[in-house]
Amino acid sequence: MRSVAHALTIDPVPAARRLATGRVARSLPPALALGAVLVPLGWLVLAAAGRESVLSPPAARAGAAGAWALGPLRGLLRGVSGAPHVLHREMLVVLAIVGAGWLAAWITAPRLSVRVLWGAVVAAHGLLFVAPPLPLTDVFNYQLYGRMAAVYGLNPYRDVPARVARDPLFALTNWHHLRSPYGPLFTLGSEALGVFGVHGWLWAWKAVVILSSLATIALAAAIAGRLGGSRQRVIAAVGLSPLLLVAEIGGLHQDMPAMACLLGAAWCLVRGREAGAPAWVAPLAGALAVAAAGIKPSFAIVVGVVVLGASARMRAVAGAAAAAAALVALDLLLYGGALPAIASQSALVDPLSVPNLLGLAAGRGGADHAVRMVADGALAAIAAGATIAVGLRRERALSALGVVLFCSVLTLAWVMPWYLVWALPFIALARPRALVPWAVVATCWLTVGGLPTLPGILHAAGYFPTRSATGLANHLEFRRLLQ
C-alpha cells in the first residue's frame, strides 16, 4: 500500500518531461546525421546551378548554349568561386560530409520514425529534381540516342552520335563515337520522351529517375518489413547514400528504372513465399527481371537467380520467356535486331578498377584484354555458382542477388561510382550481412575513383597510367570514343 501511495504522489508532469527529454536526446544524433546529408547536398545543388562550372559539366561544355540546363535555381547562390580546383575541393568536402551523415544515419536509423526518414529522402530527391545535371552525367547522351532514332531515322545500335553533329544537343554530349550500350526498352523510352521537346525531355526524364528511385527505396523497405528487418535502416542505407544521391540521381543516370524493376522482382520472390500468395507473383518476378535487363543489359546476369528463386519456378520461367520474346520482337521491329554495344564499353578501363589494379600487380601494365577476360570469367563463375545455390534453396535468392551484383562492380574494368547502387538495396537488407562493411569501403573507393581530380591524385602517388603500353592503349581507346 505504501508503494502505491508513493507512486500516486509522484508528479506526472516532470516524469513526462523526462521521458520527452530522453526521446529528444535519443533522436538527436540521427537527426544531425540527416542534416549532414541534406545541408551540404543543398549547397552543392545551389552551387552547381549558380553558373556554368565544372559542377555541371554539360552546361560548362556548351557555354551559353547549355545555360538552360542549369534549371530554375540558376544564379540563386552568388559568390561561389568558378575556379575548377576550388570547386573540386569543395565538392570533395561535400561528399565527405554526406558520406559521414549517411553512415551515421544507417547506424542510428531505428531511433527515427519511418515518416521522418522518408521526409529526408524525399527532400533530398526534391533538391536534386530542381538541380542541374551534376558531374559524371551521361543524361544528354541518353537523349541524343533517342533523337537519333526518332528525329534522324538512324539506328543508335549501328550508328554513332557523331553522325548527328548538327543536333542542338551534340555540344552537351561526350560519347561521340560510342554506339548505344543501353537496352532497347530504355532507348524506346528515350524516344517516347521526345514529345516534350529538347528542354522538356530533361524534366520528364528527371521525373522518371526520381520516381524510379523512390520506388526502389520503397520496395526495399517493404521487403525488409516482410522479412522482419528494420525498414528504417534500409531507407537510410539506400535513400541517403552519397553514391545514390550525388552520382546516380544527381547525374540522372538510367540505372534507377532498371533497379525499380529488379526490386519489384525481389519483392515478388519474398511475397511468393508467404501463405496465400497470389499466382501472378512468380511470372511477374520473371518478367520484371527481364525488363530490368531490357533497360540495363548488365542485369541479364541475375535473371536465372530470380527465376530459380521464385516459389513457382515454371510460372516464373513462363513470365521471363514471355517478356524476353516481347523484348526480342521489339528489338527486331525497331532496331533490326542490333544489340547494345556492351563490348565497346567494356573495352574501357578505369585506373582504380580492380581488374586494372590486378593487371598492374601482375606486371601487365593494367587491364589488358587478357585481364578483362579473366575478370569476365570470374564473374560468370560467381553468377553460375549463385544460380546453382538458389536452385538448391530458393531462400538464398536475395543473398545471391547481392553477391552477384556486388561482384559485378568489382570485376568491371570500367566502373563508375553509381554502380554500387545495383547491390546496395540487397546489402541494406543484410543479404548477406558480410557485405555491409564492404559496401562502406566500396563507397569510399568509388568516390575517390569518380573524382575529377583523380589524375592529379594518381600522379602525386607516383602512378602514371599512360606510361605503360596497356595504359596508353586504354587511354587512346577512351579518347577515340569521345572525339
pLDDT-derived band at 137 (thresholds 50, 70, 90) equals: low
CA distance 205 to 211: 10
Range 369-383 average pLDDT: 96
- The answer for 430, left when phi > 0, alpha when psi is -120 to 50, beta otherwise, is left
Residue ranges of the domains in the chain? Answer: 349-413+415-483
Reported pTM:
0.91
CA distance 36 to 59: 28
CA distance 243 to 416: 10
The tally of CA atoms less than 13 A away on the side-chain side of residue 218 is 12
CA distance 147 to 17: 62
Quick one: angle between helices 84-108 and 435-449, nearest 10? 170
Contact by Cβ (8 Å): 76, 69: no
Look at residue 26 and give its three-state secondary structure.
helix
The reported pLDDT for the residue numbered 311 is: 92
The fraction of the chain above a pLDDT of 70, given in percent, is 92
Range 58-64 average pLDDT: 63
Residue with cell 538495396: 425
Q: What is the 3-state secondary structure (H, E, C) of 163-217?
A: HHCCCCCHHHCCCCCCCCCCCHHHHHHHHHHHHHHHHHHHHHHHHHHHHHHHHHH
CA distance 295 to 418: 16
Joined together, the cell numbers standing for residue 240 give 541517403
Residues 6+ apart with CB under 8 A from 460: none
**Phi/psi at 409 (5° precision):** -65, -40
pLDDT-derived band at 7 (thresholds 50, 70, 90) equals: very low
CA distance 64 to 362: 47
Residue with cell 544537343: 169
Look at residue 460 and give its three-state secondary structure.
helix
CA distance 305 to 396: 9
pLDDT-derived band at 28 (thresholds 50, 70, 90) equals: low
Joined together, the cell numbers standing for residue 268 give 515478388
Range 393-410 average pLDDT: 96
Range 222-234 average pLDDT: 95
Contact by Cβ (8 Å): 223, 216: no
Instruction: Report CA dihedral (57, 61, 66, 68) to the nearest 10 degrees.
Output: 20
**Cα→Cα distances 40→58, 90, 99, 420, 483, Å:** 22, 10, 11, 22, 35
Range 462-473 average pLDDT: 89
- Rg over CA atoms, the chain: 24
Higher local confidence (pLDDT), 411 or 458:
411
pLDDT winner (highest mean) among 419-428, 446-455, 474-483:
419-428
Joined together, the cell numbers standing for residue 294 give 531490357
CA distance 447 to 416: 9
pLDDT-derived band at 8 (thresholds 50, 70, 90) equals: very low
Instruction: Report CA dihedral (431, 416, 328, 266) to the nearest 10 degrees.
Output: 20
CA distance 455 to 446: 14
Q: Is residue 25 scored above 50 in pLDDT?
A: no
The reported pLDDT for the residue numbered 1 is: 44
Contact by Cβ (8 Å): 215, 96: no
Q: Is residue 4 scored above 60 in pLDDT?
A: no
Instruction: Write the pLDDT tens digit of every residue in 172-217.
Output: 888 899 999 999 999 999 999 999 998 999 999 999 999 999 999 9
Range 437-465 average pLDDT: 88
Range 38-62 average pLDDT: 84
Range 37-48 average pLDDT: 95
Written as one letter, the residue type at 306 is V
**Cα→Cα distances 76→87, 367, 400, Å:** 17, 44, 46
Helices (H), 274-341: 281-295, 303-309, 313-335
Q: Which of 229, 236, 221 is nearest to 33 (CA)?
A: 236
Residue with cell 529534381: 129
pLDDT-derived band at 22 (thresholds 50, 70, 90) equals: very low
Written as one letter, the residue type at 284 is L
Q: Is residue 21 scored above 70 in pLDDT?
A: no
**Cα→Cα distances 360→58, 62, 408, 483, Å:** 33, 37, 20, 27
The reported pLDDT for the residue numbered 462 is: 87
Instruction: Report CA dihedral (430, 434, 435, 439) to the nearest 10 degrees.
Output: 100
Instruction: Write the pLDDT tens digit of every residue in 319-357.
Output: 999 999 999 999 999 999 999 998 888 888 999 999 999
Vertex 262: Cα angle to 30 and 272 (nearest 5): 95
CA distance 150 to 46: 34
The fraction of the chain above a pLDDT of 90, given in percent, is 71
pLDDT-derived band at 478 (thresholds 50, 70, 90) equals: confident
